[in-house]
């Protein structure tokens, strides 16, 4: 009995001691987590080495706690990046100038107490550098609309490029640009370049350095590139460099003829038919009044479904027109000329440019479009229902100013559109210059002279100095020399109004 009592007392003491430890003692600490990767070393040699873009997988265990994330290092544990993922792709860095390297990816787990694995898991990746590449991107003809890859330009050039690298696009360090000479010092373009524009600093010279604009920016880079030839064929080369300093092959764009700017005056021929006849009409009559120097741009010349002289985009064309102080533009497609001019003459006018625009407006032109907003035309006059406007042979068009000559048509114009002139504003004034000559024609009835609003030629001028900067005509002047006085009209328009 005594032994039984002693055993019961001993058990009671043990229980009391255990309970006390549970309440008054410290809880056992949770051990630091462990991290695991699928392999610790990948064995590859020579050409079988991996590219610098590698994949890694990992996981972690925690006894008594739980994993909240991981930290990864690819620079020998100098820096760590946190992630909750258990896999990722890494673009590993090969030291500059080297083709291969053995790079270790380290991973350490973190538990809910913030403890990190003191012995991170790792995998060694034997990698090799892959050469980058680059190519020029050109527009394509689509749905019957010609592409715009010019073969002849004034000294403003635009190119789109695409770089690539098997090790990942982020491995591209920069691009090297060359004008005509790949032995020259390369001009550096940033790694994010998708397009670049070159603008000559001396467009009248035999050659020039160029401002460089990247990715459509209106601000040029701080340095310029030299080597552009004027009135000559040019080859533009590009190559790309990766972060290991590996270089792609030189890639040339197709040869392009760059014309120097030889005059203040540009003739824009936007005719799709009778191009030579109309251009000769203008050049001969301009010479008759003493305007003998001008450059030309064939805005509608198409070869193999490609515009040969239009720039690839409006920004580049805008900078091209801004090279000139005066433009004489004639065309037979109102939609093309008005819409294209609206988007490409901003810099030209901002620089004080003066424009003459003669475009026959036929019945297919949308009168509700906003293509006229930039011109001395407020609205087109619409013929009454069932009627059309036209001009007959020997029709007389009258000047608003009696000192100007009346002009007479030499042929029928099947579709003619008079217009309304805008109201004057604080900065811009508008005046009609010529009116009349319009016939209203209706099926089954005799044609009658249109007596409504019939302005066909008007001007816009600056209120501040009263100087004209825009003259527009909705009739083709080459068909209005019936009085043999077109040279007098040219004298009034180009010499007196526009100050050529």
Query: 93-137, pLDDT tens digit by residue?
Result: 888 878 888 999 999 999 999 999 999 999 999 988 889 999 999
Mean pLDDT of the chain: 91
SS3 385: coil
Would you give the end-to-end CA distance of the chain in angstroms? 135
144-196 confidence digits (pLDDT tens): 899 999 999 999 999 999 999 988 898 999 999 999 999 999 999 999 999 99
CA triplet 130, 133, 135: central angle to 5 degrees?
170
Residue 334, H or E segment: helix 334-344
Statement: residue 16 has pLDDT above 60: no
User: Which of these CATH numbers, 2.30.30, 1.10.287, 3.40.50, 3.90.1570, describes 265-497?
Assistant: 3.40.50
CB 440 within 8 A of CB 447: yes
| C-beta atoms surrounding 340 within 10 Å | 21
pTM more than 0.75: yes
The DSSP line for 233-258 is EE-EEEEEEETT--BPPPEEPPPEEE
Q: Which CATH number fits domain 133-258: 2.70.150.10, 3.90.1150.10, 2.60.40.10, 1.10.3720.10?
A: 2.60.40.10
- Check if 34-128 and 133-258 are the same fold: yes
φ/ψ (deg, to 5) at 375? -110, 175
Q: Which secondary structure element, helix H or strand E, spans residue 276, and what is its range?
A: helix 275-288
Record the tokens describing residue 434, joined without a space. Answer: 């010529």
Which pLDDT band, with edges at 50, 70 and 90, does 290 fall under?
very high
Q: Indicate the helix (H) or strand (E) that contains 2.
A: helix 2-24
Tell me the pLDDT band of 10, cut-offs 50, 70 and 90.
very low
Looking at residue 450, its pLDDT comes to 94
Taking the CB of residue 174, how many other CB atoms lie within 10 A of it?
18
d(CA 108, CA 225): 49
Q: Report whether pLDDT(19) > 50.
A: no
Domain regions of the chain by residue span = 34-128, 133-258, 265-497
Is CATH 2.60.40.10 the classification given to domain 34-128? Answer: yes
């Amino acid at each position: 009995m005594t032994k039984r009592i002693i055993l019961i007392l001993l058990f009671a003491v043990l229980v009391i001691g255990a309970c006390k430890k549970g309440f008054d003692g410290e809880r056992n600490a949770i051990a630091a987590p462990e991290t695991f990767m699928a392999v610790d070393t990948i064995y590859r040699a020579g050409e079988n080495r991996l590219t610098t873009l590698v994949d890694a997988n990992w996981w972690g265990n925690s006894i008594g706690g739980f994993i909240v994330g991981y930290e990864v290092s690819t620079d020998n544990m100098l820096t760590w990046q946190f992630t909750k993922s258990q896999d990722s792709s890494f673009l590993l860095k090969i030291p500059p100038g080297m083709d291969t390297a053995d790079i270790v990816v380290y991973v350490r787990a973190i538990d809910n107490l913030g403890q990190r694995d003191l012995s991170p898991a790792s995998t060694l990746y034997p990698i090799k550098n892959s050469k980058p590449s680059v190519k020029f991107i050109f527009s394509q003809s689509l749905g019957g609309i010609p592409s715009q890859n010019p073969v002849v330009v004034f000294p403003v050039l635009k190119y789109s490029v695409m770089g690539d690298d098997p090790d990942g696009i982020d491995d591209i360090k920069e691009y090297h640009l060359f004008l005509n000479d790949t032995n020259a010092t390369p001009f550096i373009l940033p790694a994010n370049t998708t397009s670049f524009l070159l603008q000559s600093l001396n467009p009248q010279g035999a050659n020039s350095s160029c401002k460089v604009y990247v990715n459509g920016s209106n601000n040029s880079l701080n340095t310029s590139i030299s080597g552009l030839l004027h009135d000559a064929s040019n080859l533009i080369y590009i190559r790309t460099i990766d972060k290991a300093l590996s270089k792609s092959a030189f890639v040339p764009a197709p040869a392009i003829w760059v014309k120097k700017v030889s005059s203040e005056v540009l003739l824009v021929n936007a005719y799709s038919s009778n191009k030579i006849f109309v251009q000769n009409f203008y050049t001969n009559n301009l010479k008759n009044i003493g305007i003998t120097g001008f450059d030309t741009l064939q805005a509608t010349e198409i070869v193999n479904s490609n515009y040969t002289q239009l720039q690839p985009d409006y920004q580049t064309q805008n900078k091209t027109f801004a090279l000139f102080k005066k433009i004489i533009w004639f065309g037979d497609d109102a939609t093309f000329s008005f819409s294209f001019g609206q988007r490409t003459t901003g810099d030209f006018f901002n620089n004080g440019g003066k424009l003459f625009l003669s475009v026959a407006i036929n019945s297919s032109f949308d009168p509700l479009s906003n293509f006229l907003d930039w011109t001395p035309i407020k609205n087109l006059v619409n013929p009454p229902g069932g009627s059309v406007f036209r001009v007959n042979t020997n029709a007389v068009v009258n000047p608003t100013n009696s000192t100007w000559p009346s002009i007479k048509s030499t042929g029928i114009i099947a579709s003619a559109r008079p217009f309304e002139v805008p109201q004057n504003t604080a900065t811009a004034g508008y005046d009609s210059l010529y009116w009349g000559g319009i016939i209203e024609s209706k099926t089954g009835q005799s044609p009658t002279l249109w007596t409504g609003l019939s302005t066909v030629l008007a001007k816009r001028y600056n209120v501040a100095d009263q100087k004209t900067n825009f003259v527009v005509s909705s009739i083709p002047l080459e068909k209005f020399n019936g009085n043999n006085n077109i040279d007098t009209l040219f004298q009034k328009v180009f010499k007196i109004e526009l100050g050529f």
